[in-house]
Structure formats: C-alpha cells, structure tokens
Amino acid sequence: MHDVNALAARLQSTGQEHLLRFWSELAPAEQQILVRQIEALDFAALPGWIEQYVRGTPVFELPERIEPPVWYPRDPNSPRRPYDAARFRAIGEDLVRAGKVAAFCVAGGQGTRLGWDGPKGTYPATPITRKPLFQVFAEQLLAASRRWGRSIPLYVMTSPLNHEPTVEFFETHGHFGLDPSDVMFFQQGVMPSFDRESGRILLAGKGELALNPDGHGGSLRALHRSGAVDDMAQRGVEHISYIQVDNPHVRVIDPLFLGLHAAAEDSSGEMSSKMLPKTGSFEKLGNFCRVNGRTTIIEYSDLPDSLAEQRDEKGDLRFGAGSLAIHCLGVEFVKRLNTAARGFALPFHRADKKVAHLDLDTGELIEPSEPNAVKLETFVFDALPLCESSIILETDRVEEFAPIKNLSGVDSAESSRALQIERAARWLEAAGVRVARDGQGRCTAVIEISPLTALEARDLRGRRDLPASIAAGDQAVL
C-alpha cells in the first residue's frame, strides 16, 4: 500500500500536488503506475529547473573568446591540413577487424515533425524499395561485417514511448539479417513536460504524467545505466560509432573517421565529430567553435549574426563548420563521465511544444493548437567540451547528409529521396555508367543502391555487373 498522504505532502512542497487530482478515480493498478512515475521524479532538482528553464527563459551566455574550429579536410592532400588518410583508414579497418567497434543508433526521439505513426526508424526511406531506416543501417553493418570478417554489435536507444514497437519491428523483420544476439535495445530517461505558464507538470491521463524523452544527450547516461557500456567492454569494444536514426546517408562504419578518432595525434579518443561546410551563414546546423581551446558546438540560434557572417581572408565563413550529429565515442569516455566522483550534467535546452494534457477541472483531454508546454532536453554535443582534445572530420553533404526530419521542404522525406538518387547517380558515374540528367544537371532516373551492393563509391569501381547506362525515367535497383 502506498502512503498517499506522504506522497501528497512531497508533491505539495514542490507545487505539484495536482498530480494526485484524480487519485480516487484510479484503479489500484493505475495508482501504482502513477506512484512509480511520481517517485521517479527528481524532487530535489525540480524547483530549480522550473525556476531556471520554465518560468525563466534561459539566456545563452556567449563565451568571451570564441575561435574558429580546426578540422581534417575532406581532401587529405589539401594544403590546409594534409594527413595520411590511407594510414588512418587502415587503423580504422583494423579496429573493426579486431571487434573493437560498435554501432549505436539514437532512436528515442518522438519524430513529431515527420508525423509518422511509429518509431522513426521504421519510416520507409529509400526511393524505390522503400527500405525502413533501420534496415539501411542494419544492411550497412551486415556488409561491413562481411568485408572485415567480424560481426559488429548494434545498440539501439529507444525511449519508453517507442521501445516496444521498435523491438517488435526488428523481431518481425528477422533483425534484417543481423544476429539477434548482436542487437541490443535499451531505453533512455524521460523528463516531465511542464505547463508553460504555471510550471506545473502536465498530466497525460488521470493516472499518467506527460513525459518526454530527455534528449539525445540522455544517451550518455543511458549507455551506462542500461549496462550497454559494460556489455561493450565485455565484448572488447573500445569505440562507438554514434548515429542518429534520421539520416539514411550516414556511414554507420567509417574506417577513416574511426582511425582519426582513435589514433590522430590531436585526438584524445573521447568524442569526435563530422562536419559540413554550411551553405550560408544562417543554415540551421550547430556551429563548431573552439572555446578555451576545446571543441564546442554553439547552436545556430545562439551564435550572434556578427560571428555567423564573419569571413576569413580567403572569403570563407570563419564559423562555417556545421555539425551533422555524427560522432565517435570512446567507451572509456562514457564510463568516465558516469563514474566521475563529481558526476556530470549536460545543460538543458528548452523547447516550447504542443503537448496534449488533461484539464484539471474537467478531466477532459485538451489538444492544444499552440505551444503550451516546455520540454527540457539535453544534447549529446554538449559533451564535446568535456573532452581533452576532440577532432573534427569534414565530409560531403550529398555523400553523408540526407536527413528526414519533415515530410516536405528542407530536411524532409522528399529532399532525402532526391539526395539518395543523386548520390547513387554519382557513384555510378564514377564507375563509368552513363546516367540521364536534365538541363540543370538533375538525375532524371530513379536509382537505389543497396548497402549490400556498395558502402561507398569505390566499391562499384571495376564491377562488371553494372549497366552501361541508365536512361531518363528508368528505375534501377542495384
């Protein structure tokens, strides 16, 4: 039996007593669930969070000295910073061969912008065969495991809001050919959603709090709490390839990136990142900077225009290195963060969102048409300044960035499809195939290349089974 009076007193002390408003209407099992959700709240921290992030609008404090970042250019022969790409690639391949690499997909987000009814990883993403995102990643892992003769474990982070359907999806599809013992799922933490005006936690039902996943930054804690890092250590895994679920062009296993992360002189092997030159000053990508000598990402909305528009002597944007949210993490780094005596905390970012909730007077569900709630999330890139020395590798937009965030427009299912076709066309052209294009250079065929056929352009070179040409209007699956 729960001591509901004690619970009520506790709630009252933080101004959240309304969470028990419908207590007497709940069946014992429902009461139990509600108690569990309430007891999981961080009562000590709640008042501070509400004060700082909900009632107050957090103000970003611009660090005093912000310098442009340094990175490894896409062209290893660039005079900007030449390096021995073949050597680092070989190091990365050796790591994979030795079983020291795991893939990690963060898939706990709610995907509200896409509006897909199901976990985002189940979204049919490829242009012709409509492979779901999870399959695209799984097939890359299969191909990589075959190439380097070593199975590569996949860890998938879900949230309590999408865990079951995600696991079920993998099971129904035979884990897309991966050995089920190499696919691990674990859940990230949640945060309560707050009423924007009052700072009260919203109720999603009479016996249920409105909860949201605690952001991709929550992965750093969840990796530890779930036992995933211990599992990795037991398997001998030392490096984690971190990917988001929404980018079908991500290279799940990139030996060059892994090699630089693990062995470059200026890398502490803790956390590394990939970057893209931004299309303009205000493209909505996080900006890589150096603050107090440490790699840092400042959100596009926090970088003052005067810095966003600054150019160097060559005319390039000084702060033009955008983040694609692709990282490598050291297993030791994740462990260290979680076991440090002083602990670690990433800052919260506030998002104002529409959250369905119960009217406390009538008990009716309200579906707001305007943002009514504050969600608090942490971002994984805020861990970058916790690294001793963190490197950045430049990559190419078409090659590695085709995110599906929205249904149409920028970063959408539509734009991703066009990018997937363009990349496939480029890979084929590089292998000598003629591909139909219109007057503006756009590919006029629909092409899809399976990860099982090629993981990168060079895999197609010299292949005898390629068509000589692909004509306008053709649909080609390779």
Q: Which residues bind ligand UTP (CB under 6 A)?
A: 106-113, 120, 157, 188, 213-216, 218, 244-246, 377, 405
We find the least distance from the C-beta atom of residue 321 to ligand UTP, in angstroms, to be: 19
Task: Compute the distance between CA of residue 302 and CA of residue 66 in angstroms, rounded to an integer.
Answer: 13
- Closer to ligand UTP by Cβ: residue 164 or 316: 164
- Closer to ligand UTP by Cβ: residue 68 or 111: 111
Count the Cβ atoms, other than its own, within 10 Å of residue 465: 7
Tell me if 360 sits within 8 A of 201, measured CB to CB: no
Q: What angle do CA 253, 256, 261 make, to 5 degrees?
A: 90
- Closer to ligand UTP by Cβ: residue 244 or 273: 244
- Closer to ligand UTP by Cβ: residue 155 or 427: 155
CA proximity to 368, closest of 355, 359, 384 = 355
- The total number of residues written for the chain in this structure: 478
- Closer to ligand UTP by Cβ: residue 106 or 183: 106
We find the least distance from the C-beta atom of residue 168 to ligand UTP, in angstroms, to be: 17
3-state secondary structure of 393: strand
Task: Compute the distance between CA of residue 39 and CA of residue 9 in angstroms, rounded to an integer.
Answer: 13
- Closer to ligand UTP by Cβ: residue 223 or 424: 223
Task: Compute the distance between CA of residue 214 and CA of residue 208 in angstroms, rounded to an integer.
Answer: 17
Token reading at 134: 């999870």
We find the least distance from the C-beta atom of residue 415 to ligand UTP, in angstroms, to be: 15
3-state secondary structure of 175: helix
We find the least distance from the C-beta atom of residue 244 to ligand UTP, in angstroms, to be: 3
- Closer to ligand UTP by Cβ: residue 214 or 270: 214
DSSP structure string for 8-57: HHHHHHTT-GGGGTTGGGS-HHHHHHHHHHHHTS-TTTHHHHIIIIIISP
We find the least distance from the C-beta atom of residue 388 to ligand UTP, in angstroms, to be: 25
What is residue 464's DSSP assignment?
T
We find the least distance from the C-beta atom of residue 375 to ligand UTP, in angstroms, to be: 9
We find the least distance from the C-beta atom of residue 121 to ligand UTP, in angstroms, to be: 8
Token reading at 190: 């949640």
- Closer to ligand UTP by Cβ: residue 54 or 243: 243
Task: Compute the distance between CA of residue 453 and CA of residue 144 in angstroms, rounded to an integer.
Answer: 11
CA proximity to 387, closest of 347, 332, 349 = 332
We find the least distance from the C-beta atom of residue 472 to ligand UTP, in angstroms, to be: 35
Token reading at 319: 């702060």
Whose tokens are 């959603």? That residue is 193
We find the least distance from the C-beta atom of residue 133 to ligand UTP, in angstroms, to be: 9
- Closer to ligand UTP by Cβ: residue 93 or 246: 246
Closest residue by beta carbon to ligand UTP = 109
Task: Compute the distance between CA of residue 106 and CA of residue 187 in angstroms, rounded to an integer.
Answer: 10
Tell me if 350 sits within 8 A of 57, measured CB to CB: yes
